[in-house]
Amino acid sequence: MSRFIIRRMLLAIPVLFGVITLVFILARVIPSDPCRAALGEKATDEICNAFNARYGLDQPLIVQYVQYLGNVLTGDLGTSIRFNRTVSDMLVERLPVTVELTLYALLFATVVGIFLGRAAATRRNSPADVGTMVVANLGVSIPVFVLGLMLAYVFAVVLKDTIFALPPSGRLTPGTEVVPLAEAWGLEDLTGLPRTILDFMSNILTFNAIVTLNGPLLVDTVRHMILPAIALGTIPMAIIARMTRSSLLDVLGLDYIRTARAKGVSERRVVSAHAMRNALLPIVTIIGLSLGGLLSGAVLTETIFNLTGIGKSIYEAITGRDYIVIQGLVLVVASIYVVVNLVVDVSYAFLDPRIRLG
Amino acid sequence: MTATLDQLPGALPEAVAAQKPSSLWRDTLRNILRQRSAIVGLAFLAFLVLVALFAPVIATHDPNLPMIGIEEGAKPRSAPCIHLLGCPETQPEHFMGLDGNARDVFSRVVYGARVSLWIGFVTVGFSIAIGVVIGAIAGFFGRTDNVLMRLMDVVLAFPSLLLAIAIVTVLGQSLVNAQLAIGIVAIPIYARVTRASVLSVREQEFVAASLALGESRFGILRRRIMPNALTPIIVQGTLGIAGAIIEVAALSFLGMGAQPPLAEWGSMIGIERNAVFAAPHLILFPGAAIVITCLAFNLLGDGARDALDPRLNR
């Protein structure tokens, strides 16, 4: 087992290295003059030469690459050219939005997907089964941006003034009180990495609201997250529903299920305790694989619902030619994805002995 | 029983002669047509192809012509007006209303079918063409395998839309570049499928036989292995068309793909997205068109997969 994990981790290193290199290359070939993009009209040749020297842009590419590699390995992601803020600061502020959105979407996808898939498999060929599969097929066919806009319209306009009304954009209603954790716990003197982590956790508003027992904040955060989470989570929900159905049908046909039924175990218990446990194996992989799609979808969802997360920031950095921010944020997102896939692979090996022995 | 056995040697050639020669393609098609979902998908697709082919006949207006000054009382973003459904005869008829430039949305949606079908086939065709070559080389010539597949892992390590946005930024914003970007990020999927398929076919005896007969390695790959390894690629490709259409539409939605005034569903939605609260029909109709198109390819792809993969038969 440990050999499998080590082998899998070693395999991830060249991939991460390749990611770093590809990000560097992409950020450099984007046709732009970072100086003029940052300073606009007032950029003269003289100013730009100084600017390029300051950011090391006058060095040969290979020198820039080695410097960049050194910086990344020491955790320095650089400073935004346009906003004069470090990428790490932006991450602390914006990554929590994306993390929160992704987790809500994943929660929606998993809970609803498994519920629907199970309902379909246990009532095979019934209207419930057909209905679920129609929903699943529609779910994978509807683009995030169409679903998001239609949800925003329905819940903010059609259902306005009803109890179902939900906010169509933003992360919080203006005026909602948020107490940073550092302040709430009297840790304002904290500096360095612990402070960064604390601020990061503090910006995950659901977490913040729960640990500071801030009821209004929790309600407001959840209300703002429901529509984006549904828009983002519908495609994985549909995939998980289909996967659960087919996986559960496979397992329900196995001998040990027949044995359980012959012993007189109730059908509900056969499904919950005996079949589901094994049927969920492939679904773990699907959940891991969905993450890449969720991060892609986050660009669109954050744009539509006006959430300042990583997806929207990367999109704005690319259109604004802020290549240090592009480099930093894309690198972080790709690394998260590689690590999550690693965790999924390893957890799969834990769950299914055939993988690690094979 | 004995009589049957006695008759068998004589009967066999006749029985064989009566059978039509079996062909991979005909068998495949017959299996696919047994799947209910594939038939529904194929019907949808046929409908879309007809709409695309006869767009000039079906469309009621010029898709790029603003109605202001041409029709009396034409206002930008006016709601759908169908006379049969009670819309007053005094108003000009527009099945899906007018967009922000007072163009007929119905005609734009109809012409959009051409653009989206083209996007789907060409984008996936590009990914398959490159992915199959990479996958076949990786699977058949072992030495390159590790390097090529790690390279594919690197591409797969990026959220696809983000990488596509970056590529479009490098290449410049246009529909062709958006297709190229989406095509590039999908290459690893086809490379992986092809590699897996080639790896399994490579071990079969007829390949060893060809090798013993002195056929060149490239010839074996092209003539013996690839025809037998194509099925999973076709299935993946059919499912991939829906994904390609959605992703190119997403780029167009962000303003990085199809440029105005081209009637492309994604960009139609992108341009009018801020009008969603006042004129939801401008999102609903092109959105529904994307959903129907993707549904058609997804159903067809699912049917093809169920038909061609005996393990999934249920």
Question: Residues 6 or more apart from B305 whose CB is under 8 A from it?
Answer: B235, B239, B312
The pLDDT assigned to A226 comes to: 95
DSSP state, residue B68 = B
The answer to whether residues A104 and B253 touch, using CB atoms and an 8 Å cutoff, is: no
How far apart, in Å, do the first and last CA atoms of chain B sit?
35
Say yes or no: B70 contacts chain A, CB-CB below 8 A.
no
The pLDDT assigned to B112 comes to: 95
User: Which of 233-292 (A) contact B at CB < 8 A?
Assistant: 246, 249, 292
User: Looking at the predicted structure, is the pLDDT value of residue B227 above 90?
Assistant: no
Q: What average pLDDT does this structure show over B176-196?
A: 94
The pLDDT assigned to B313 comes to: 42
The pLDDT assigned to A31 comes to: 67
In angstroms, rounded to a whole number, what is the distance separating the alpha carbons of residues B137 and B140? 5
Chain B residues with CB under 8 Å of A14 CB are 150
Interchain contact, A153 vs B314, CB within 8 Å? no
User: Looking at the predicted structure, is the pLDDT value of residue B24 above 60?
Assistant: yes
Interchain contact, B295 vs A138, CB within 8 Å? yes
Closest by alpha carbon to B238, among B191, B290, B300, B308? B300
The pLDDT assigned to A80 comes to: 85
Say yes or no: B87 contacts chain A, CB-CB below 8 A.
no
The answer to whether residues B60 and B104 touch, using CB atoms and an 8 Å cutoff, is: yes
Measured N-to-C along each axis, helices A87-122 and A310-319 cross at an angle, to the nearest 10 degrees, of 130
User: Looking at the predicted structure, is the pLDDT value of residue A268 above 80?
Assistant: yes
The pLDDT assigned to B70 comes to: 84
The pLDDT assigned to B71 comes to: 83
The answer to whether residues A76 and A199 touch, using CB atoms and an 8 Å cutoff, is: no
Reported confidence tier of residue B314, pLDDT bands at 50, 70, 90: very low
The pLDDT assigned to A24 comes to: 87
Which range among A190-194, B179-183, B304-308 shows the weakest confidence by mean pLDDT?
Answer: B304-308
3 state SS for chain A: CHHHHHHHHHHHHHHHHHHHHHHHHHHHHCCCCHHHHHHHHHCCHHHHHHHHHHCCCCCCHHHHHHHHHHHHHCCCCCECCCCCCEHHHHHHHHHHHHHHHHHHHHHHHHHHHHHHHHHHHHCCCCHHHHHHHHHHHHHHHCCHHHHHHHHHHHHHHHCCCCCCCCCCCCCCCCCCCCCCHHHHCCCCCCCHHHHHHHHHHHHCHHHHHHHCCCHHHHHHHHHHHHHHHHHHHHHHHHHHHHHHHHHHHHHHCCHHHHHHHHCCCCHHHHHHHHHHHHHCHHHHHHHHHHHHHHHHHHHHHHHHCCCCCHHHHHHHHHHCCCHHHHHHHHHHHHHHHHHHHHHHHHHHHHHCHHHHHC
The answer to whether residues A342 and A8 touch, using CB atoms and an 8 Å cutoff, is: yes
In angstroms, rounded to a whole number, what is the distance separating the alpha carbons of residues B237 and B190? 8
The answer to whether residues B32 and B91 touch, using CB atoms and an 8 Å cutoff, is: no
User: Looking at the predicted structure, is the pLDDT value of residue B1 above 50?
Assistant: no
User: Looking at the predicted structure, is the pLDDT value of residue A298 above 80?
Assistant: yes
- At B93-113, the pLDDT tens digits run 889 989 998 899 999 999 999
The answer to whether residues A80 and A327 touch, using CB atoms and an 8 Å cutoff, is: no
Q: What average pLDDT does this structure show over A294-308?
A: 90
Which amino acid is located at B239 in the chain?
L
Reported confidence tier of residue A355, pLDDT bands at 50, 70, 90: low
In angstroms, rounded to a whole number, what is the distance separating the alpha carbons of residues A78 and B209? 59
Q: What average pLDDT does this structure show over A224-228?
A: 95
For residue B261, cis peptide bond before it (omega within 30 degrees of 0): yes
User: Looking at the predicted structure, is the pLDDT value of residue B17 above 60?
Assistant: no
In angstroms, rounded to a whole number, what is the distance separating the alpha carbons of residues A309 and A97? 5
The pLDDT assigned to B303 comes to: 84
* Alpha helices (H) in B217-263, listed in sequence order: 217-219, 226-253
Say yes or no: B311 contacts chain A, CB-CB below 8 A.
no
Question: Residues 6 or more apart from B85 whose CB is under 8 A from it?
Answer: none
What chain A residue is nearest to B289 in terms of C-alpha separation? A142
User: Looking at the predicted structure, is the pLDDT value of residue A190 above 50?
Assistant: yes
| Best residue of A141, A249, A326 to probe chain B, by most B CBs closer than 10 Å | A141
Reported confidence tier of residue B312, pLDDT bands at 50, 70, 90: very low
Q: What average pLDDT does this structure show over B73-91?
A: 85
The pLDDT assigned to B13 comes to: 55
Q: Using CA of residue B208, residue B210, residue B213, residue B216, what is the dihedral sign?
A: negative
- At A161-186, the pLDDT tens digits run 998 999 988 899 888 888 888 888 88
- Percent of residues, chain A, with pLDDT higher than 90: 35
The pLDDT assigned to B21 comes to: 59
Say yes or no: B290 contacts chain A, CB-CB below 8 A.
yes
| Top-ranked range on mean pLDDT: pick from A270-274, B51-55, B154-158, B220-224 | B51-55
The answer to whether residues A177 and A216 touch, using CB atoms and an 8 Å cutoff, is: yes
The pLDDT assigned to B250 comes to: 95
Which range among A6-15, A120-129, B3-12, B284-293 shows the weakest confidence by mean pLDDT?
Answer: B3-12
Reported confidence tier of residue A238, pLDDT bands at 50, 70, 90: very high
Say yes or no: B282 contacts chain A, CB-CB below 8 A.
no
Tell me, what's the ipTM? 0.85
- Percent of residues, chain A, with pLDDT higher than 70: 96
Interchain contact, B280 vs A246, CB within 8 Å? no
Q: What average pLDDT does this structure show over A121-126?
A: 88
- At A38-48, the pLDDT tens digits run 677 777 788 88
Reported confidence tier of residue A358, pLDDT bands at 50, 70, 90: very low
DSSP state, residue B94 = B
- Percent of residues, chain B, with pLDDT higher than 90: 47
